Amino acid sequence: MKVLFAASEAGPFMRTGGLGDVAAALPKALTKAKVETHVIMPLYEGISEQYRQTFEFLGSTVVNVGWRQQYAGVFKCVLDGVTYYFIDNEYYFKRYSIYGHYDDGERFAFFSKAVLEVIPLTKFYPDIIHCNDWQTGLIPVMLDGFYRLIEGYGNIKTVFTIHNIEFQGRMDISCVSEVFGIPGEFADVCEYQGDANMLKAGIERANKVTTVSNTYAQEILNPYFAYGLEHILGQRQYKLCGIVNGIDTKKYNPKTDKALFKNYDLKSIAGKAECKAGLQNMVNLPVAEDKPIIGMVTRLTNQKGLDLVVEVIEQILSMDIQMVVLGTGDWKYETALSEIAKKYSNKLVVIINFNSDIASKIYSGCDMFLMPSRFEPCGLSQLMAMRYGTIPIVRETGGLKDTVIPFNPVEKTGRGFTFKSYNAYDMLDAIKRCVGTYYNKEEWNACVKNAMSGDYSWEQSAKQYIELYKSIL
């Protein structure tokens, strides 16, 4: 079986969040399970020279984007046994950031068309194209609209994974014909509520639609979570399912992660105390082994529950704890948190940055990890925290509900602390329960042990994707 995995980002080349992690790890897990999986993504300006040096130029072609004719070069490299293709077009991808441009619709319509157009250059004719999020939502439509009669394309099936339904690639309706160049009967599937909607197009036309946890697959049938697409998903429920994400347990391993102040595992858990002291030292917090320290590594946005955190931050800080927040995002949260950190400089540190090295130091050096998301399709940060023995405090939504089993002090089962309602005081209560347990060393150690011995690998989920691929072939 051959799978072409199309994504707008993939680690280690380019990554802004969970999608980049998934596109790095799932193809590896599929390859390990003997499914030939190649990844295709744009050649961004930010991809480092270290990787570019290993690229091989396969050739170029011309892609029609509406009335425009655009150059598309293809480069190839192999990393850790997985083959990657990069679509080169400097007009679209030589930019200072990968998203957030006025012409994102056109950029990713171009990318989607190029994915299909360059298949003969790669000589990799897939059985399945696995598309991810709105940036690749037009692939199933374009495949049906333009390519089906070309040799090698007739039997290709498509899977479309929704990593976050909030982002839909909504454009002016004129884009469908002018920019995407999609004619007649296929234009209708790209339209929703008067706009062009690239996510909706993918949902309509793919053979299977997945999302990244079971709970989120249920939640997005509900208007609170669906950002307007509940009716479309309701109609397409027959082809929708949830498969929970894993993490790259080789990369995120406290025993080998080079970013840590001291490597450790369950048997050498004392090393975690050195990570804590190292973190406190690095961020200029008092070095105190017995003070619980709460970490956050997150986009600073409404989705991630930052409004709850800001609402009760003074109550949180009134406890005998410390807190370290790493993130970038909405200006209002960046400034609110930075201002509070100035006032409570011996308790709260806020680092406005996207930095994987510091992230690892927080996952390893903290005792607790706060993730009070309004909604969370899967969430990877809580998995990384648990892998590093850091106890998650989460809201019971989406993948957080599926992966963080509440700690039961009687049975000594579970690996985190949870709350249900999207309410700052319910979150505060969960934090207090977690901090209370921290001081009961027997219970705490049991909770840490449960967290660290959980299976967060991709193995089980990769098997589910393989079953799904088989079901449509």
Judged by CB, which is closer to ligand ADP: 21, or 204? 21
Q: How far is the CB of 293 from ligand ADP (least distance, A)?
A: 17
Q: How far is the CB of 392 from ligand ADP (least distance, A)?
A: 11
Contact positions vs ligand ADP (CB under 6 A): 17-18, 21, 297-299, 326-328, 353-356, 359, 378-381, 384
Judged by CB, which is closer to ligand ADP: 28, or 299? 299
Judged by CB, which is closer to ligand ADP: 8, or 381? 381
Q: How far is the CB of 407 from ligand ADP (least distance, A)?
A: 21
Judged by CB, which is closer to ligand ADP: 70, or 328? 328
Judged by CB, which is closer to ligand ADP: 33, or 352? 352
Question: In this chain, which residue has its C-beta nearest to ligand ADP?
Answer: 18
Judged by CB, which is closer to ligand ADP: 126, or 372? 372
Q: How far is the CB of 472 from ligand ADP (least distance, A)?
A: 26
Judged by CB, which is closer to ligand ADP: 85, or 225? 225
Q: How far is the CB of 329 from ligand ADP (least distance, A)?
A: 9
SS (H, E, C) the chain: CEEEEECCCECCCECCCHHHHHHHHHHHHHHHCCCEEEEEEECCCCCCHHHHCCCEEEEEEEEEECCEEEEEEEEEEEECCEEEEEEECHHHHCCCCCCCCCCHHHHHHHHHHHHHHCHHHHCCCCCEEEEECHHHCCHHHHHHHHHCCCCCCCCCEEEEEECCCCCCCEEECCHHHHCCCCCHHHHHHHEECCEEEHHHHHHHHCCEEEECCHHHHHHCCCHHHHCCCHHHHHHCHHHEEECCCCCCCCCCCCCCCCCCCCCCCCCCCHHHHHHHHHHHHHCCCCCCCCCCEEEEEEEECHHHCHHHHHHCHHHHHCCCCEEEEEEEECHHHHHHHHHHHHHCCCCEEEEECCCHHHHHHHHHHCCEEEECCCCCCCCCHHHHHHHCCCEEEEECCHHHHHHCCECECCCCECCEEEECCCCHHHHHHHHHHHHHHHCCHHHHHHHHHHHHCCCCCCHHHHHHHHHHHHHHC
Q: How far is the CB of 141 from ligand ADP (least distance, A)?
A: 25
Judged by CB, which is closer to ligand ADP: 237, or 355? 355
Q: How far is the CB of 381 from ligand ADP (least distance, A)?
A: 4
Q: How far is the CB of 419 from ligand ADP (least distance, A)?
A: 18
